[in-house]
Structure 1
Amino acid sequence: MVASGRIPIATGAALEYGDLVAELGRRVGIGLAARGDVRDVTAWARRAEDLGLDSIWVHDSYFERDPITYLSAMAMETRRIGLGAGALNPYTRHPVVVAMTMSALDDLAPRRITLALGSGLPLRLSQMAIPYDDTVARVSESIDQIRRLWSGQPLKLNDKVPPLQPMFQPPHRIPIYIAAYRTPFLDLCGEKADGYLARPAESLPAFQKMHARVLESAATHGRAAGDIDFRGYLLCLFDSSRQEALNRAKREPFVIYMISVLSDISMKRAGFDPALRSQIATAWRAEDYHRAGELIPDELLDAFILCGTVHHVAARANAYHEAGMDVPLLQPILQETAQVEAVLDAAVLYATVRTGVITPTRVAPVPTAPDLALHRGEGRVGAGIARRARGVWEVVRPFSFTASVLPVSVGGAIALSQGRMHWPLFIAALLGALGLHIGTNVINEIYDVRHGIDSITSPRMS
């Protein structure tokens, strides 16, 4: 490692940095959004590599930041860990541009790059005035075009002009995954993709059905089940207990949004009536986030999001693995340091629970496999009390009390100087002013939360 602390760009030489990376019992990765300080996200990537994780995936978050920039920074600062771009789509990024981009990433991180292609969201594409056509045909065609360019062959897209000739060096093999949930995409995955990437907030029953459909399609096209790798984003939210995490999730606007945009088929596959989603979506569109959160039952959150302690999340990831997900990708709903650290701990716990190789530093010793069963009462009483105390401090805002205490105190000082001080009335006035001030702070907080003005991620949410 160089003196600056940066990792040199990888070459074909021995991975001296990778030699120091721990080996886990089974593969696991994390997913991140293209948001926040690039340097912070890169530091998390280095930490994930140190822990021995399989890969980091960054998805294309509409109207946030560019995921390729984050992946480029990670490629510069790591030596071993896999880097996944997914899901990109052939509408906002032309297949030729995708081929060029992946070739450059492969130069920074040889043999560590993976690409996932999806269809894009119709609403977001419409907001950008991008035409939306036969998405399955477009993605299938894009896979063929990208692979042709990577092989160094010319590509003819317009009969009126000569074919384009790739000027970049052919990359090492870059696997292409399908990242879309409709049945025709599952069939396409079985036909020609290297893997399947499940979207965030996918229920376990839905994944099981999609897994079976992909393998059925693969068999139809003469492919073996082992030819296709299955991965998926698993959204996670951590707290001192499962119930605390569920309560927190219902107050998080992103969670409400994710639930409100679930498709009818996703709801039905998970065993829920789509009418429930419609009610939640109505409240969400009206910006009545408090009402929307009240409408979300715990069972609905459990079906689509991994909520609880590190042990809870590791157990849920294990359930997806047993359903056929080769590499779970744990993704924090709140991309903040504490939640990312919890994701890393859960990932290591999931990957080592059968082998006992590594014990996460912030959780109890690694249990045996049966210990992964969910304990709904799990959680530390002391941690819960401390969190509530911090929450009360934030809501009450004692630092602002000078605005109410000072005027009453000045009035008391004047009365005292004139010999007209009445101590019971002074104390009553002081307590009354403090009570009004506290009440105003609390009401203001409730109003901001219910109307979505504040996105609560602090202890006061409990």
Structure 2
Amino acid sequence: MRFSVRLNNDLPLREYARLARAAEAAGFDQIWVSHDLFLRSAPVLLATMLQATERIAVGSGVLNPYTLHPAEIAMLAATLDELSGGRFLLGLAAGAANFLEWIGVRQERPLGTTRQAIRAIRAVLAGEPVPGWGPEAYLRFPACLVPIYLGAMSPGMLRLAGELADGVLPLLFPPEHFATVAPLIAEGAARAGRSLDEIDLAACVWCSIADDRDEAEAVLRDKIAYYGSAFSPLILERFGLTRADFEAIDRALQVERDPARARRLVTESMLQIGLVGTPEAILPRLERLVEMGARHLSFGPPLGPDPVAAIELLGRAVLPHFGRR
């Protein structure tokens, strides 16, 4: 079994070194940080976490080729890999179309654009020419191939992950969505003559954990309120929801600027998107994931009212349950 922690890039900078050290001490294999627009810059956070740790792998979860050119992504990956002594993991995805619209960027041809980005980044890291780029397009310092993890949710992107990626970061809404995700990745892998066993499939769940259920639930409600309208129709259908169900929440957040009201509008059905409560409360759904074939459990934000305490709780009560001491 493999275990990882995922963080949003919305915390004070000083927190990331502390969180990375806590994850390493708790026995996690990887820690990831997002690069969502208009929050803190993930490259800075990644460097901070790498310099604060010695063993744990640190990954970008995720960069996209629309706001950052593949050449710059390759430069960043090579530099962070050098800084870390080989512990950096490159998380890549097409990004969320509605967030890209904030800055007037259209998410055109997401599958083709992502495929081209993966191939270009690998070529640059390997010192090979990139089709369509000039002969001057090469790194001026030695680099290694960095593992590329694809953030994927749509069937097409999941198949692409199976075809090309070293690992996959599928957001599982709900966690049981793993049963749909794994066959699609396996299909893409088979198309490329690969096996699913060759791919690090991280079962990425949202988890808010604390000894106090109400405190844990409030944090998950805030997360769902912020991102709910960006969920794909496929995800919403699983809960009998539509994007219209999030209109009042969006209005409370964006127009009324009332996060407390937005939190109250999150329904019990919406809460099933993630895991919430004490370690004992979330174990049954995690066990079902493992029964379905998950070999990498990835715990993502909000984690809990106190993220460090949540990481420590997971290390004490959840990882040992699955054999990690």
Q: Same fold (TM over 0.5)?
A: yes
Asked if structure 2 preserves the Cα contact closer than 8 Å seen for 1:310 and 1:342, the reply is no
Question: Which structure has greater strand proportion?
Answer: 2
Asked if structure 2 preserves the Cα contact closer than 8 Å seen for 1:242 and 1:307, the reply is yes
What is the Cα deviation at residue 263 of structure 1?
A: 2.0
What is the Cα deviation at residue 309 of structure 1?
A: 1.0
Instruction: Tell me if 1:273 matches 2:240.
Output: yes
What is the Cα deviation at residue 231 of structure 1?
A: 0.8
Instruction: Tell me if 1:220 matches 2:191.
Output: yes
What is the Cα deviation at residue 255 of structure 1?
A: 2.5
Asked if structure 2 preserves the Cα contact closer than 8 Å seen for 1:149 and 1:166, the reply is yes
Q: 1:35 to 1:291 in 2, by over 3 A?
A: closer
Matched residue, 1:127: 102
Instruction: Tell me if 1:113 matches 2:88.
Output: yes
The residue type equivalent to 2:293 in the other structure is: G
Match of 2:267 among 297, 304, 322: 297
What is the Cα deviation at residue 241 of structure 1?
A: 4.8
Report the Cα distance in structure 1 between the residues aligned to 2:51 and 2:262, rounded to whole angstroms.
43
What is the Cα deviation at residue 296 of structure 1?
A: 3.8
Match of 1:170 among 108, 124, 143: 143
Report the Cα distance in structure 2 between the residues aligned to 1:204 and 1:312, rounded to whole angstroms.
14
Report the Cα distance in structure 1 between the residues aligned to 2:210 and 2:23, rounded to whole angstroms.
21
Match of 1:202 among 173, 187, 196: 173
Asked if structure 2 preserves the Cα contact closer than 8 Å seen for 1:156 and 1:164, the reply is no
CA RMSD of the aligned region, Å?
2.5
User: When the two structures are aligned, how many residues end up with a matched partner?
Assistant: 321
TM-score by length of 1: 0.64
Report the Cα distance in structure 2 between the residues aligned to 1:299 and 1:90, rounded to whole angstroms.
34
Match of 1:180 among 147, 152, 166: 152
Gap regions ≥5 residues in structure 1: 1-25, 358-462
Q: 1:83 to 1:290 in 2, by over 3 A?
A: closer
Gap regions ≥5 residues in structure 2: none
Does 99-108 or 314-323 show the bigger shift?
314-323
1:105-153 Cα deviation digits (max 9, x unpaired) = 1111123111121111222222222242101000001111111111112
Asked if structure 2 preserves the Cα contact closer than 8 Å seen for 1:242 and 1:312, the reply is no
Within a 5 Å distance, the mapping from 1:22-171 to structure 2 comes to: 26-158=1-133, 162-171=135-144
SS of equivalent to 2:169: strand
Within a 5 Å distance, the mapping from 1:205-354 to structure 2 comes to: 205-242=176-213, 245-246=216-217, 248-249=218-219, 252-268=221-237, 270=238, 272-275=239-242, 277-286=243-252, 287=256, 293=263, 296-302=266-272, 304-333=273-302, 338-354=306-322
Report the Cα distance in structure 2 between the residues aligned to 1:31 and 1:193, rounded to whole angstroms.
19
SS of equivalent to 1:165: coil
Higher relative contact order (CA 8 A, sep 6+): 2
1:296-342 Cα deviation digits (max 9, x unpaired) = 4324312x111101222344334333333332221242776x23312
